[in-house]
Amino acid sequence: MENQLFNHQFICRLLSVCANHAILEGASKTQDIILMVSDLVRYIYDDRRNIVTLDDEIDTVKKFLLLQKFIGLRNIEFSLGVEKSYNYIYVKHLSILKRVVEDIELTFENTEETLSLRYVLEYLNSRVVINKFLNREKVESIVVNNIN
């Protein structure tokens, strides 16, 4: 019951009010970021989403990575190599974002040096393969099942 107490819609509505006032006050960058946070919160906390398109998951990962840069982790460079749209591929909700969050925590939290983290997604034999490169060196390949 307590888990129901955190109402992400409530937070999103508040963030929406903030974003609207940011526009009124001409703070367009603030508004962009607020909307990005609102989208991210809505996506992450939406319990009704069990399966999402690969595109939605990738968009969320991109927003998360942008916000990570925005909040100050500037010694990190990362990119997501996605060559085409994957609207027809379905993956488990947060399956990729979860790995990225863990990677960021493990890789960057206790280091001061500039590291390059790059993800390249491939679609092979009905599976999504996330190839992870750290400083241009492939360190891991993660397989995410296509739930089609």
Partner 1 sequence: MLKNRMSFIEKILSFLNLNTVRKKLIFYSAFMVVIMGSFNIYSFFYVRYISRQYNSIMRDLYFFNRVSVEFNSINDSFESILSDILNYREQNNLYETLSEFEDDIKNIEKRSRNTDNWVRIAGLRGLVETYNENVEKTLTLFKNNENYYEKLSYCRMVAKFINRRINEIVSCHLTQSSILYSEIEENSRRMQVYSASTILALFVFNAVVIVYFSNGISRPIRSLAKRAERIASGDLNVSDVLVNTNDEVALLANSFNKMSNNIRKLIDEIVEKANIEKKLKEEEMKNLKVTNMLKETELKVLQSQLNPHFLFNTLNTIARMAMLEDANTTLNLIESTSELLRYNLGKIKQGTVTLRDEIDNVKEYVFIQQIRFSDRITFNFDIDESLLDTHVPYLFLQPLVENAIIHGIEPKEGKGSLQIKVYSEDENVMIEVKDDGVGIPEEKMKYIYDDKESTSIGLCNVKKRMEYYYNDSNLLKVWSKPGEGTLVKVIIPKGTRDGEINV
Closer residue to partner 1, CB minimum distance, 48 or 136: 48
Distance CA 148, CA 143 (A): 15
Closer residue to partner 1, CB minimum distance, 16 or 85: 16
DSSP state of 4: G
Token pair of 45 as six digits: 């906390």
Provide the minimum distance between the beta carbon of 57 and partner 1 in the complex, in angstroms, as a whole number: 13
Angle at 143 between CA 147 and CA 89, to 5 degrees: 35
Provide the minimum distance between the beta carbon of 105 and partner 1 in the complex, in angstroms, as a whole number: 7
Provide the minimum distance between the beta carbon of 96 and partner 1 in the complex, in angstroms, as a whole number: 12
Distance CA 127, CA 104 (A): 24
From the number of C-beta atoms within 10 Å of its C-beta (0-12, 13-18, 19+), residue 43 rates as buried
The binding site for partner 1 (CB under 8 A) comprises 1-7, 9-11, 14-15, 17-18, 20-22, 24-30, 33-34, 37, 40-41, 44-45, 67, 70-72, 94, 97-98, 101, 105
Provide the minimum distance between the beta carbon of 79 and partner 1 in the complex, in angstroms, as a whole number: 20
Closer residue to partner 1, CB minimum distance, 101 or 142: 101
Closer residue to partner 1, CB minimum distance, 14 or 81: 14
Q: Is the dihedral of CA 21, 47, 91, 106 positive or negative?
A: positive
Q: Is the dihedral of CA 45, 48, 53, 54 positive or negative?
A: positive
Provide the minimum distance between the beta carbon of 21 and partner 1 in the complex, in angstroms, as a whole number: 5
Closer residue to partner 1, CB minimum distance, 97 or 117: 97
